[in-house]
Structure 1
Amino acid sequence: MFRVRGDHAQAMSPALLATLPERFLAELREKGITAERDANNGAVVMTDTRGNKTSLLFTETGAPEATVFPSGARVSFEHDARGRLAGVALPSGERIEMGLDENGRLASLGYAGRPVHRFEHDEQGRLTRVAFPDETTTTFDYGTTSLERLTDRTGATTFYTRDEKAGRYAVRDALGRTTTLSAGPQGRLLEVGFADGTTQAYERDADGVLVSVRRRDGSVVQHERDLEGNFTSLRWADGSQTFLRTEEQGTLVIANATSTISIVRDASKRPVREETPIGAVGYEYDDDGRLTCVRTPWGDVVVYGYDADGRLSTVTDWANGITRIEYAPGGGIETIYYGGTLIERRQFARLGLVSSASVYDADGCLVSEQYYSYDTCDRLAGISDRWGPGVGEVDHRRLVLDAEGRLLAEIDAASERVRLEYDYDAKGNIVYDNGSTVHVGCMDEPLSHEGREVIYDPRGNVISLPTPSRREFECRWNEDGTLRETRVGDTRVEYTYDALGRRLSKCVGQSTWRYGWAAGQLLWEEWLSHPDASPIRRDYLYLPDGRPLAFREAGRTYWLQTDPRGAVIRAFDADGNVVWRARYDPFGTAKVEVSRIRQPLRLAGQYEDEETGLYYNLARYYCPWTKTYLSLDPCWLCPGASNYSYARNDPYNRVDPSGAFPWVVVGVLAVGALVGGGISVATEYFFGHGDLWAAFVGGAIEGFFTTAGALIGSVVPGLGTFWGGLIGGAIGTFFGTLVQGWMNGQGWCWECAFKGMVTSIFVDLLTFGLGKIPFVEKLLKKAADQLDDILKRLNIKPPKPDVTEPKPDVTEPKPDVTEPKPDVTEPKPDVTEPKPDVTEPKPDVPEPGAPGSPEHKAARWKEYQERGGEWSYERWSKTYDNNMQRATKAHEVADAYHQQLGWGEREVTVNVKEGVTRRLDIADEATKRGVEIKSGNQYATQDNLWEIERDAMLVKQGWDITWKFDGHASKPLLEELDKAGIPYTIGSP
């Protein structure tokens, strides 16, 4: 590789700078971007397909002077006397200052007027020391050719040794535990020796092609190929297989025994369809490559709009509700208008650091408010959360961190009482958990918690776990590392996954949950109370940074507020009422204080399973009470992988949205995050982008902070922040990089996929829009090219059709599963209609004018149009038919129970008080008896609460009201019935 030393670059600088504008212009045009020089000031002006213009201004010497965006926002570049970049002035008025040494290497970085980070290098330009604003340091010590010792900010040291001739390398951690690696010809990995004495071996053929992987427990994963040597599949130790093939026009097909996934790409190699057995997810883009539309398997559409600067400005949801987003001068999201009914306003302390967030309802009343404070290293240090005007309706907490950011204590800021405290070993594993000692094994696995043993299988998966209730908790695992089954007391839960490792189903007795995905994001879920039940669906909606924005259930949209680390803290209904509220302990256990609706989303990327208390985190399952994962980090070879702990035990400043790797989260643009990210990347470079052995082949750390371009390149993968899967190239990057981890038999590399995905999402934020400029874009590997390169190296051809097709009885869902249920999850034009006024089960052919008849349908369609409905007839018709089908089933259940009772009448309207009525499914006004029958999945929705309120009034008037559930009833709903004094039964009437 051609390299230019710092002093040579400085000598060449004037000549290079003078030609920069023209070279930049030529490169833009070469990439097909409309660009021209401004005759008046010499600026290079880029014009997008919508006519928006971005200008890059240059000084007289040719150095970049400023970037002016279509909105008028300006980022200015400052230079020292030698013409070198010395600072950046941001649209917010903030300034980041950079100091360079004599050789042009970064010597300092920080906010103007604040303590800075300082950097030192050796004579070879290698980074040797980073001094942080809190006076802690990270140091790098080198031998003749490579890094030998890394000492972190707490003084813990990791040692690296290498024997090039023997092809043997080792890493000894701060606890003295050693991991060894053996490499063959050309540095190809042959064996990893773990600290616990187990090994993982890689068998290769004469050409160095990987043939099989022998894992720690002795099981073998085979890489199968056809007679021509083309890769066809992975065969796991139990005989199951995962297949990968390409079809015409580059469609990627991935299959296992559960499902087949096809990723269809357009001529620009962008994914346009993700086809699964349930249906297809579609993606549409504008002429500038931005994602504009997502279509679900049910025909729902989510539309994204962008402002002149190319930032997301509107999200149009399933019901045509519009969420608007406005930005602060510094680039952070300042205001969110949730569907036109709620407003969230944010303020910022320093660059990228949210200092407050306030949510107001449609009347301007404050319904939620949080304040955040930070330490000198830009780490979250204090949180205040207010949920009401009263003295006791606010929580103040102060955080105490060690030098590496690990949480030592959480303190009640009002009383200075220590609420929680923790301690760690030199590796960063938690060994003291608020009064309980935790014993840790050689692989960082917790061996006991609260004096009770944690048991693992030979591959490091938990098979027996202590629980707070002291019930037996057992786990069973698939050969590909996915959790197959859990048993908690008498409750048995079974799980299935698609060919990408995403969870497809969760079965508990007769009930089943089904899940659908768009790349790495949960798009929808369905619940069936029993195999023949009609599914009840919920749809999820996200912001571009992956934070959940809303979900839809029973035709109603609920808006979600998240804190800086991405944890959902509030859910609001369309009227601005708080229907769910929780406070979390540092490691994610939720104390739910308002629960009028089920809300399973927890910390970033986590989904709580009520049956077990575990959080599904995509790549792994997280146990909030032990504060650890149930299995080894899939990216255990990557520097910074914490094996079992959550987010390096810095739960407020890092997140692990995929369950595979902790990322810095607080302060996307903050200087402290930039430096922390840069150091992580420097170490990762030594390790060779995730393969530990490549560290010793590739050499030592070089100057990562030499130029602004290198700084940006270092920051992006180090930050990572929150993952997203619904923004433009991020979708392609997700699928492309996901394949890489699979190639070495390690399973799907979720961390790699998400890291690539957030790169494409956040590059614009990190460079204030410079991601659209090619020389910055070149720092990133394009998703399409990356995917093609992977497939090319694998030399993949389609395997035999009869091998790759999954079993029909497994992959083909029942018709009632794949059919949408608009009366539950879509806006329902007919929901407000009264129940069909019939007392007998509907005949197969409805009478003219009866609900379900052509006449009734035509009349309802006319009424819908008169009300200004915007759906097409096809979509409305499907909704109507499904409503009628569901209403029929509900009536059949009520009719059957009515006959069983032998008293009362069906569909009786009762006067509750003047102007207020209540219609009961079965009632006898003479004896004041009534029954309300509910089928399917029932929650504490506004409709149900409305009915409970009126039934409570009837009970006070002497009525005997009973509710019958033919299906599931949520705990909050049953609690509301208990409060109202209304008895209920659950099960078939």
Structure 2
Amino acid sequence: MTDALNHTTAFEYDEVGNLIVTVDPLGNRTLRFYDAVSRLIAIVDGRGKGTQFTYDNLNRITQIEDAINGITAFTYDPNGNLLTVTDAKNQTTTYTYDNMDRLATRKDALNRTESYQYDLAGNLTQFTDRKNQATTFQYDALNRRTQATHPDATITFTYDTVGRLVKASDTAPGAGTIDFAYDILDRLIQETTPQGTVGYQYDVLGRRTQMVANGQQPTTYQYDAASRLTRVAQGSLFAQLGYDNANRRTSLNYSNNTTTSYAYDLASRLTSITHNGPSGVIDALTYTYDMAGNRLSQTRTNGTASLLPTAVADATYDAANEQTTFAGATLTYDANGNLTNDGVNTYQWDARNRLMGVSGGATAAFTYDAFGRRTTKVVGSLTSQFLYDGNDIAAEIGAGAVGANYLRSLMIDEPFIRQTSLGNEHYHTDALGSSLALSNTQGSPETTYTYEPFGKTTITGTSANPFQFTGRENDGAGVYYFRARYYGSRQQRFLAQDLLDFLSNGFDPTLYAYVNNDPVNFFDPFGLAKDKHRLPGQQGGKGALSGDDPIVRQARQISQDTQDGRQGAKYIKKILNKGVDPNGKPLSPARKDLLRAAMKLLGQAAKRGIQIGGSAVGIILSVIEPAEANAPTSGKDLQNSKTQDDE
């Protein structure tokens, strides 16, 4: 297979058609081994590191052994439902099912149980968590969720005559009501929240051409003939983007006369980023990789660059992988696995496992909308409210330097320009999307950032910019907001368990680990699953972190309108069965992998009772990487997904 730049990836197959060798343009080889019935039994990367698979007589994977001999084991019932998952420390999570093979209970390694109930149509009607808090769900005759009643609040959903979600109301403090309006093609044209209104316009190809947020000038978007975003502008401010023939981003130019250039190796791995200003280099980074594509080194011109984290003096863990001691402090958790005290701060959580407040060494309070987006943040004496453009903040509403409007790309967590009463700040970032420097209107850097691999942040300058490590929001005291969860850079892990269970991060049963403890290669925009590539066109990347594929966008809309991820998954399944997109164009293998991953994650979210809609839909669809996201839920799924691990 040869790309537009004449870079060739070679594939070799055995006599029965199994892929056995993949050779990238740099000559790195990935090997696959099969048994006599063509079941994949081992994958060996370019470094010679292997993962092995073991099966039962029904072709269900019973064991996965990693490169350091850690074993994760699986058992099943006669119907193929996953019964147990046992990690390398011999800690077991247990599942049971009802007569319709629907998940009935999940019991963790500390014997704490959560349960699920359904109606005759298969809709989840009640979820009882490990704190014995029950949430009930109601549906209309079309199986659309109309109400979710939590112990501390109720959400109601209203639909129009063609089934589109037009209103979501949440009685939780600070949540309020969200109203949606659509055009004749069912595209969202307006969203109104207590914080303001955001409106959208599109061209005949369905591409966004304009976004207007409350109190702001219109933001306009331009594209080239390949539908690649080339310009984002608001008034006199703009960001201009350039690409090569392989669809890789090569340049980013701002209206303050700063420029960024990107370079890649033959395997489309990012090798350098150079940020230039009118007076010289603002910052520059170079990267090298091993034969498996892992970053080996990082150099930085104007800041500290290290791929080694600070050593952890001591840490202990319980059977549920909760960190119980760290650096001499004792940590405690509630029955749902949420951190309640870290020896310095006390954390308060609501019935939806959302962090509501922090007290002790730091003081903070938060509110959220019906879709889990954070709407208010109070830290110390400063209060901010947030107006959203989908999953991203369009405006931060507050006094003085706290208030800000944002000019962004269409990818998740990529702000270009922050506009405040004190002036404009232009973002210059690294390969993971972490802010390195903010340049002013004259193109000079005024605030700079350095990071340890797990996100411990050092700031030089006075900007109130919150978007720092991997583009996420730094709330102070080492705590970052990662949407679905909060992350502790000091503890180097999340403060709560993964909502998608162990399935979302490559069968990692830890549930708290940040990007499988590989922060130099991965990031996690939603706190649910790791992702690898920030920029379009990188090897293995999706090129659009926000579900820009039209089929994925439609699945998102269907899931939001019905409040049911299964409906979006069904739409994708129909497309996959046909083998062509709605325009009759055959689906490429890579696109099929993307769609399978989207379908799997939507289905998994529905099984776990996760709210579908708004930000939550983005959470599910924006983290898709076939290697990690096509997570199995049964022995058959394990068998079917095992061959998509690194393509």
Question: Is the TM value for this pair above 0.5?
Answer: yes
**Using a 3 Å threshold, how does the CA distance of structure 1 residues 758 and 263 change in structure 2: closer, same or farther?**
farther
**Using a 3 Å threshold, how does the CA distance of structure 1 residues 139 and 666 change in structure 2: closer, same or farther?**
farther
Letter in 1 for 2:34: H
For the Cα contact (< 8 Å) 2:525–2:623, is it kept in 1? no
Q: Work out the CA distance in 2 between the residues paired with 1:122 and 1:713.
A: 26
Shift of 1:208: 4.8
For the Cα contact (< 8 Å) 1:658–1:751, is it kept in 2? no
| 1:804-883 → structure 2 map (5 Å cutoff) | none
* Corresponding residue number in structure 2 for 1:449: 326
Letter in 2 for 1:333: R
Q: TM-score, normalised on structure 2?
A: 0.82
SS of the counterpart of 1:272?
Answer: strand
Q: Work out the CA distance in 2 between the residues paired with 1:447 and 1:586.
A: 23
Letter in 2 for 1:320: S
Shift of 1:251: 3.6
Percent identical pairs in the alignment equals 21
| 1:374-385 → structure 2 map (5 Å cutoff) | 374-385=289-300
For the Cα contact (< 8 Å) 2:500–2:608, is it kept in 1? no
* Corresponding residue number in structure 1 for 2:191: 274
Letter in 1 for 2:410: P
| Structure of larger gyration radius | 1
**Using a 3 Å threshold, how does the CA distance of structure 1 residues 328 and 756 change in structure 2: closer, same or farther?**
same
Letter in 2 for 1:485: G
Residues 539-595 of structure 1, C-alpha deviations (whole Å, 9 max, x = no match): 1222233222121111732110111111111110121111111110011111113x1
* Corresponding residue number in structure 2 for 1:307: 224
Shift of 1:497: 0.7
* Corresponding residue number in structure 2 for 1:624: 489
Match among 504, 507, 510 for residue 375 of structure 2: 504
For the Cα contact (< 8 Å) 2:402–2:464, is it kept in 1? no
SS of the counterpart of 1:655?
Answer: coil
Match among 524, 528, 546 for residue 660 of structure 1: 528
Instruction: Flag structure 2 segments of 5+ consecutive residues without an equivalent.
Output: 543-564, 570-585, 627-647
Shift of 1:178: 1.2
Q: Work out the CA distance in 2 between the residues paired with 1:242 and 1:337.
A: 43
* Corresponding residue number in structure 1 for 2:609: 745
Q: Work out the CA distance in 1 between the residues paired with 2:618 and 2:89.
A: 31
* Corresponding residue number in structure 1 for 2:41: 128
Shift of 1:265: 2.3
**Using a 3 Å threshold, how does the CA distance of structure 1 residues 354 and 717 change in structure 2: closer, same or farther?**
farther
**Using a 3 Å threshold, how does the CA distance of structure 1 residues 556 and 133 change in structure 2: closer, same or farther?**
same
For the Cα contact (< 8 Å) 2:524–2:623, is it kept in 1? no
Q: Work out the CA distance in 2 between the residues paired with 1:259 and 1:90.
A: 50
| 1:622-701 → structure 2 map (5 Å cutoff) | 622-640=487-505, 642-665=510-533
Letter in 2 for 1:361: G
The reply on whether 1:584 has 2:451 as its aligned counterpart is yes
Shift of 1:344: 1.0
The reply on whether 1:331 has 2:257 as its aligned counterpart is no
Q: Work out the CA distance in 2 between the residues paired with 1:741 and 1:346.
A: 36
Letter in 1 for 2:260: E
For the Cα contact (< 8 Å) 1:614–1:623, is it kept in 2? yes
SS of the counterpart of 2:100?
Answer: helix
SS of the counterpart of 1:358?
Answer: strand
For the Cα contact (< 8 Å) 1:254–1:260, is it kept in 2? yes
Match among 579, 592, 598 for residue 713 of structure 1: 592
**Using a 3 Å threshold, how does the CA distance of structure 1 residues 506 and 207 change in structure 2: closer, same or farther?**
closer
* Corresponding residue number in structure 2 for 1:543: 409
Letter in 1 for 2:220: V
Letter in 2 for 1:541: L
Residues 176-198 of structure 1, C-alpha deviations (whole Å, 9 max, x = no match): 11111111223111111211101
**Using a 3 Å threshold, how does the CA distance of structure 1 residues 313 and 220 change in structure 2: closer, same or farther?**
same
SS of the counterpart of 2:621?
Answer: helix
For the Cα contact (< 8 Å) 1:352–1:668, is it kept in 2? no
**Using a 3 Å threshold, how does the CA distance of structure 1 residues 264 and 339 change in structure 2: closer, same or farther?**
same
Residues 115-169 of structure 1, C-alpha deviations (whole Å, 9 max, x = no match): 2111223344432221111001112211111111111222211111112269772
* Corresponding residue number in structure 2 for 1:224: 138
Q: Work out the CA distance in 2 between the residues paired with 1:636 and 1:599.
A: 32
SS of the counterpart of 2:427?
Answer: strand
Letter in 1 for 2:27: R
* Corresponding residue number in structure 2 for 1:602: 468
Q: Work out the CA distance in 2 between the residues paired with 1:302 and 1:136.
A: 48
For the Cα contact (< 8 Å) 2:54–2:64, is it kept in 1? yes
* Corresponding residue number in structure 1 for 2:53: 140
Letter in 2 for 1:345: S
Instruction: Flag structure 1 segments of 5+ consecutive residues without an equivalent.
Output: 1-87, 388-393, 400-409, 411-419, 422-433, 467-471, 530-534, 675-689, 695-706, 721-732, 763-989
* Corresponding residue number in structure 2 for 1:264: 181
Q: TM-score, normalised on structure 1?
A: 0.55
* Corresponding residue number in structure 2 for 1:341: 257
Q: Work out the CA distance in 2 between the residues paired with 1:290 and 1:623.
A: 37
Shift of 1:492: 3.4
Match among 346, 349, 366 for residue 281 of structure 2: 366
The reply on whether 1:237 has 2:151 as its aligned counterpart is yes
Shift of 1:299: 4.0
Letter in 2 for 1:450: A
* Corresponding residue number in structure 2 for 1:172: 86
Q: Work out the CA distance in 2 between the residues paired with 1:182 and 1:158.
A: 19
Letter in 1 for 2:255: G
* Corresponding residue number in structure 2 for 1:286: 203
The reply on whether 1:109 has 2:22 as its aligned counterpart is yes
Residues 311-348 of structure 1, C-alpha deviations (whole Å, 9 max, x = no match): 1111112x332321111333211111111511111211
SS of the counterpart of 1:638?
Answer: helix
Residues 446-468 of structure 1, C-alpha deviations (whole Å, 9 max, x = no match): 111112111111111111113xx
SS of the counterpart of 1:269?
Answer: coil
Shift of 1:103: 2.3
Letter in 2 for 1:745: G
* Corresponding residue number in structure 2 for 1:493: 364
* Corresponding residue number in structure 1 for 2:631: none
Letter in 2 for 1:494: A
**Using a 3 Å threshold, how does the CA distance of structure 1 residues 166 and 100 change in structure 2: closer, same or farther?**
closer
Shift of 1:229: 8.3
Shift of 1:358: 1.5
SS of the counterpart of 1:186?
Answer: coil
Q: Work out the CA distance in 2 between the residues paired with 1:254 and 1:660.
A: 24
